[in-house]
A and B are shown apart, each in its own frame.
Chain A
Amino acid sequence: QQPVQSPQAVILREGEDAVINCSSSKALYSVHWYRQKHGEAPVFLMILLKGGEQKGHDKISASFNEKKQQSSLYLTASQLSYSGTYFCGTPNSGGGADGLTFGKGTHLIIQP
């Protein structure tokens, strides 16, 4: 089943914060996050593993609550370079070696 992302789109001013949510109807063992800029391939951001862990990459961090089958991506003090479409991907089974099912994406537009 395809994970559900919200919101579908976000428009921010540079320096503002954003939260992107990803929820699944099936049990999750991990969640993958990617960013895709227009016309380019998706770029891996981070993987969250079960255990409620949080991860960070520069000013982008994420959390994973496997009991609620949800993950959230936090973008702090957004920069122009953060613009793009963010996708969460959930493993088809277990750890994802057999591929990921991606959400429809969240379009993030950062304005100066």
Chain B
Amino acid sequence: SQTIHQWPATLVQPVGSPLSLECTVEGTSNPNLYWYRQAAGRGLQLLFYSVGIGQISSEVPQNLSASRPQDRQFILSSKKLLLSDSGFYLCAWGQGNYQPQHFGDGTRLSIL
């Protein structure tokens, strides 16, 4: 069966520090991968998606970036975090159109 792993589960970072969140999927090949962000008490906002290695599409202009160095690995990064980057970051995978997206357990990021 397929599983998705995200780490870390919780992260507290100072403003201006770098960020790296990692997500890996097991049990499937060539998945579509997604990064969503959920601000406190809000809905989910799509940040990036990828349909293959090295292919990244950005949905929202921001100081975040994403990379997909391997088929089942998706990384979310920032060079300098802002206070507004706080939130619950969720990685998800899917197998294409009209297929469900399955979410990892998320990373709760607090910026001080």
Interface residues on A, range: 20 to 34
Residue A49 lies at the interface, judged by CB distance under 8 Å to chain B: yes
- B49 near A98 (CB under 8 angstroms)? yes
Number of A-B contacts (CB under 8 A): 64
Residue A100 lies at the interface, judged by CB distance under 8 Å to chain B: yes
- In the complex, chain A residues whose CB is within 8 Å of the CB of B104: 41
Interface of A is mostly: loop
Chain B, residue nearest A43 (CB): B103
Q: B13-21, B40-48, B64-72: which one contacts chain A? A: B40-48
- In the complex, chain B residues whose CB is within 8 Å of the CB of A40: 105-106
Residue B1 lies at the interface, judged by CB distance under 8 Å to chain A: no
Per CB-CB distance, the 9 closest pairs between chain A and chain B, nearest first, are A95-B97, A41-B103, A95-B98, A99-B46, A44-B100, A102-B44, A102-B43, A104-B43, A97-B97
